[in-house]
Amino acid sequence: MNFRLLVIASCLLFFKVGDCQIGAESTPVSWNMSQSASLDPLWQTLPLLDVEALIDEDSQNEDKSVPYRFASAIGVHFDPQTSGQWINLPGGDRLWMLGIRCQNALSLSVTFGMFDLPEGAKMYIYDGGHKDYVGPLTVRNNTGNKVFATIPIRGSEVVVEYYEPFEYR
């Protein structure tokens, strides 16, 4: 009986976690617009990672209790007031788009330090080729500490797209 309860609780937890970042209900707003070819985000280019130096640093580490490195964080500060571009849509809706490139990255993940989506807003993070995406992120994804990190997106480019409907502005 306890085992069955544990399996059910595990399944519910799995489905709740799976619901947090990838939603099947929609694709990014710009992908469904007739003028989407002209909606190219402003791009920010991150510095090249010195992968050889990172590998060398890891090989010098004699403490085998330290886990292997699988990623390297690059601190940046991008926000809708100073980065990317706002696009006014018919009917008063708006899009904010920011492209981020890191030339030799295999995948990119985005960590938000002040993640607080309002009611009605949607956010997507996707690759430059429109093959892989996370979202829609909504008010349901807000956290108490306002920190939110996405799963990695394959490739060396990601676009952060924020959609704000007029009725919620």
Predicted model pTM: 0.78
Per-residue pLDDT tens over the stretch 70-84: 788 888 999 999 999
Q: What is the pLDDT of residue 66?
A: 79
Q: What is the pLDDT of residue 14?
A: 37
Per-residue pLDDT tens over the stretch 156-168: 999 999 999 999 8
**Residue in the structure block whose two tokens are 């707003």:** 29
Percent of the chain clearing pLDDT 70 (strictly above): 82
Q: What is the pLDDT of residue 13?
A: 37
* Band of residue 38 on the pLDDT scale cut at 50, 70, 90: low
Whether 4 shows a pLDDT value over 50: the answer reads no
Q: What is the pLDDT of residue 138?
A: 96
Beta bridge partners of 149: 111
Work out the average pLDDT over 31-53.
Answer: 80
Name the token pair of 122: 């949607």
Helix %, strand %, coil % for the chain, to 5? Answer: 25, 25, 50
Residues 111, 158: Cα–Cα separation, whole Å:
12
Per-residue pLDDT tens over the stretch 109-155: 999 999 999 999 999 999 988 999 999 999 999 999 999 999 999 99
Backbone angles phi, psi at 57, to 5 degrees: -60, -45
Per-chain mean pLDDT for the chain: 82
**Residue in the structure block whose two tokens are 């807000």:** 142
Q: Give the three-state DSSP class for 119.
A: coil
Residues 117, 162: Cα–Cα separation, whole Å:
9
Residues 68, 59: Cα–Cα separation, whole Å:
10
Whether 43 shows a pLDDT value over 80: the answer reads yes
